[in-house]
Amino acid sequence: MNDSEIRDIVLSEIHKVAPDIDPADVSDDDHLQDDLELDSMDILSLVTALHERLGISIPEAEYPEIDTPAKAVRYLAGKITG
């Protein structure tokens, strides 16, 4: 799975958690909480969805590693190839 495919998955799952967010409007550096206004429950739902979709567990201590789409792609790509 390449970075573009992972990015599409991340944006798709963000859109499922927050349907008012258009994936086309999300920049790689948008902060999930500060810029996209996801709350802690939204983040938990996103982490759960990514786990179900990719089979990757993300410990709470590592949530800062996925706080932007770009960081999430790097983190998830590292876990997939890991």
Compute the distance between CA of residue 19 and CA of residue 73 in angstroms, rounded to an integer: 20
In this structure, the number of other CB atoms found within 10 A of the CB of residue 72 comes to: 25
| Dmax (CA) of the chain | 33
Question: Average pLDDT in the 28-44 region?
Answer: 97
Could you tell me which of 18, 48, 16, 51 has the C-alpha nearest to residue 35? Answer: 18
Global confidence as pTM: 0.93
Percent of the chain with pLDDT over 90: 95
Q: Which domains are present in the chain?
A: 3-81 (1.10.1200.10)
Say if residue 38's pLDDT is above 90: yes
Say if residue 82's pLDDT is above 90: no
Question: Average pLDDT in the 37-51 region?
Answer: 97
Compute the distance between CA of residue 8 and CA of residue 40 in angstroms, rounded to an integer: 22
Question: Average pLDDT in the 39-44 region?
Answer: 97
pLDDT given for residue 81 in this prediction: 78
